Amino acid sequence: MTEFVLRTNQLTKKFKQDYALENVNVSIKKGEIYGFIGQNGAGKSTFLRIVTGLAFPTGGAIELFGNHDSSNLTEAQKRMGAIIETPALFPNMTAYENLEVHRLQKGIPGKACIDKTLELVGLQDTGRKKAKNFSLGMKQRLGLAIALLSDPEFLILDEPTNGLDPMGIVELRHLIKKLNREKGLTVLISSHILSELHQLATKFGIIHKGKLLEELTAQELDEKCRQHLRIKVDQASKAAIVLEHELKTADFEVLPDGTIKLYDYLDDVHIVSRTLTKNGLVIEQLSQNGEQLENYFSKLVRGLENEQFNESGIF
Amino acid sequence: MSNLMRAEFFKLFHNKTFWVLIVSLTGISALMHNLILTDWWVMTGTPFEAVGLGELNALAVLIVPLFFNLIVSTLAGFYIANEFSQSGVIKNQIITGHKRARIFLAKFAALSFGAFIAAVAIPLATAFALLLLHGMEDILTLSNLAYLGRAYGLFSLQFLCLAAIVLFIAIVTEDSGKTVIFTLLLSGGMFIVEKFVSKPFIVKLYEQTFFYQFSQAFRWELASDEMAKSIFVGLISLAVILLCGMFVFNKKEIK
């Protein structure tokens, strides 16, 4: 049976007349790295704040590690670590002392975990330096250390790369992948930088104006964004044989409506066209398709906006 | 709960404001006691003088509500309210998966302990230390010690109510400055009611509050029913304020 770490059902958050979240259904399986994509103000942080118990929904339900009633939800939160918006630190304490507060709060026995976690995020040499004197990147790493201190099963990161330099971003990505691979850590990571999530996430949720537009796996997203030639001919089965035998390619698929998606010969469209015609096929459509991740996202967002525009009845 | 308490006390002992208050109050208190004991400063009409403890008159300044309110609200502002506004560390605490009511109670325990040390224990400890240094310890007779024990016992109970109400203000306002201002406004308001309002209904109502019990605690003669009333008012007020505080904190959205 599939084990879900987080599931939301029709999760809604309303501020007076405005919806910050509207009927959001998200499901995250154990071991997934879930990328939550959306523009600034799309509702990502609101969603994460509700999941972490900082805010309350006005409608819908949350299920965390299979628990959904409020006291069990609070208990289940002990199994997760999170950074929401900016890392929350005691400015007058050192990195070690910041982690010590969190260790005491969580009731983690022994102080060995502090050194181990500081080393994991590369802050082992900060000594007596107070957190207020840390760079933005160091603060971000200390926030991550706090989230990781109790060895959580579920890690929630809200825009974790804010303030990190390119090297820091790469290191963070490697660290998350390593924890996911070695410890089976489930991660929910939000960002408005698509390319950043694309290199990390195994599943995506695209949110816009409080609505979850689409949930898809990395494979599905790659598929949608992969460049291909879209071919529509009068005889799809014959065209498939021609592609295999004449053009020596198997990198294509035939869709139920007879359209062929060819992932090969992208720069040699004329060869494809000539070969198909030579074999007596009538080409009804031949176009290059597929888009960049950003374009795919924009198309989804535009789709929603058009839908809302039409619903409003303004023409 | 014990984990939360340990964390709160760790934070308290690493809080700069707490240590600034401890050091300043030790200095101010020692100076005032010294001035009284060496007759450089003469005070009259204090509750301590009335019971033959005139050497401890400096304590009368430190039991004025405006004075100790300032101490409690400063600590609450810079220790509690800052966790919501400046550092935002309250988020980490909520995410740890502890019940909010327990977090509130742990904060109350640490705040009341810190405020009690600064506003009550240090003035008393410096008073005793200076009495010893000046060779005046003979005034601490058994009956005087019993008076001080009873007075400070009742005072401490009302002090816990004040700490609870200041914690409530700190959590609602989320700002150190506002915490200090609102607490002082509250205490100023109570002072006006006590000194200038004569409407029987308001006076009667005021006498049922823990603010009134602050002054009652230091009366030399206190009948057993008055003492019972003081304890009752203190305990009920404490329970009501804590319950209200927990309710508000439970419903509060953390930004």
- Asked if A88's CB is within 8 angstroms of B89's CB, the reply is yes
Interface test with A, best of B84, B96, B104, B253 (most A CBs within 10 A): B96
What integer pLDDT is reported at residue A310 of this predicted model?
57
Q: Which chain A residues are closer than 8 Å to B87 by Cβ? A: 88-91
Q: If you average pLDDT over every residue of chain B, what do you get?
A: 87
Give A62's strand partners: A8
Q: Which chain B residues are closer than 8 Å to A106 by Cβ? A: 3, 96
pLDDT category at A307 given cuts 50, 70, 90 is low
Interface test with B, best of A104, A156, A157, A158 (most B CBs within 10 A): A104
Any idea what the Cα angle at residue A258 is, between residues A256 and A264, rounded to 5°?
A: 105
Q: Which chain B residue has the Cα nearest residue A72? A: B97
- Asked if B11's CB is within 8 angstroms of A90's CB, the reply is yes
Interchain CB contact of B250 with A (< 8 Å): no
Please name the residues in contact with B52: beta carbons below 8 A apart, sequence gap of 6 or more.
B139, B144
What integer pLDDT is reported at residue A304 of this predicted model?
63
Interface test with B, best of A105, A128, A149, A151 (most B CBs within 10 A): A105
Any idea what the Cα angle at residue A256 is, between residues A255 and A259, rounded to 5°?
A: 45
Q: What is the mean pLDDT of residues B132-153?
A: 86
Who has greater pLDDT, A290 or B201? B201
Q: If you average pLDDT over every residue of chain A, what do you get?
A: 85
Distance from CA of A78 to the nearest CA of B (A): 5
Q: What is the mean pLDDT of residues A170-195?
A: 86
Q: Is A278 exposed, middle or buried (0-12, 13-18, 19+ CB in 10 A)?
A: exposed
Instruction: Report the alpha-carbon distance of residue A73 to residue B100 in Å, rounded.
Output: 13
What integer pLDDT is reported at residue B67 of this predicted model?
84
Instruction: Report the alpha-carbon distance of residue A138 to residue A305 in Å, rounded.
Output: 39
Who has greater pLDDT, A243 or B87? A243
What integer pLDDT is reported at residue B249 of this predicted model?
92
Any idea what the Cα angle at residue A254 is, between residues A252 and A257, rounded to 5°?
A: 150
Q: Which range, A293-297, B82-86, B236-240, has the best average confidence (pLDDT)?
A: B236-240
Q: Is the pLDDT of residue A40 over 70?
A: yes
Who has greater pLDDT, A296 or A254? A254
Alpha helices in chain B (DSSP H): 2-13, 16-37, 47-50, 58-62, 65-75, 82-84, 90-95, 100-116, 122-133, 142-173, 176-196, 200-206, 210-216, 224-251
Who has greater pLDDT, B192 or B123? B123
pLDDT category at A291 given cuts 50, 70, 90 is low
- Could you tell me the CA-to-CA distances from B167 to A143, B7, B172, B179 in Å, in that order? 27, 17, 9, 9
pLDDT category at A85 given cuts 50, 70, 90 is confident
Q: Which range, A37-51, A198-212, B75-89, B109-123, has the best average confidence (pLDDT)?
A: B109-123
Q: Is B245 exposed, middle or buried (0-12, 13-18, 19+ CB in 10 A)?
A: buried
Q: What is the pLDDT of residues B112-132, one digit of tens each?
A: 999 999 999 999 999 989 888
**B residues 93..122 contacting A (CB < 8 A):** 93-99
Q: Which chain A residue has the Cα nearest residue B17? A: A92
Q: Which chain B residue has the Cα nearest residue A108? A: B3
What integer pLDDT is reported at residue A15 of this predicted model?
87
Contact indicator for A214, A304 with CB cutoff of 8 Å: no
What integer pLDDT is reported at residue A305 of this predicted model?
66
In DSSP notation, A67-93 reads: B-SHHHHHHHGGGEEEE-SS----TTS
Q: Is the pLDDT of residue A314 over 50?
A: no
Interchain CB contact of A107 with B (< 8 Å): yes
Q: What is the pLDDT of residues A272-290, one digit of tens each?
A: 888 889 888 888 888 887 6
Q: What is the pLDDT of residues A7-38, one digit of tens each?
A: 999 989 988 888 888 898 999 999 999 998 88
Contact indicator for A241, A73 with CB cutoff of 8 Å: no
Q: What is the mean pLDDT of residues B162-178?
A: 90
- End-to-end Cα distance, chain A: 49
Contact indicator for A283, A277 with CB cutoff of 8 Å: yes
Q: Is the pLDDT of residue B51 over 80?
A: no
Interchain CB contact of B24 with A (< 8 Å): no
Q: What is the mean pLDDT of residues A242-247?
A: 88
Q: Which chain A residues are closer than 8 Å to B3 by Cβ? A: 104-107
Q: Is the pLDDT of residue B163 over 80?
A: yes
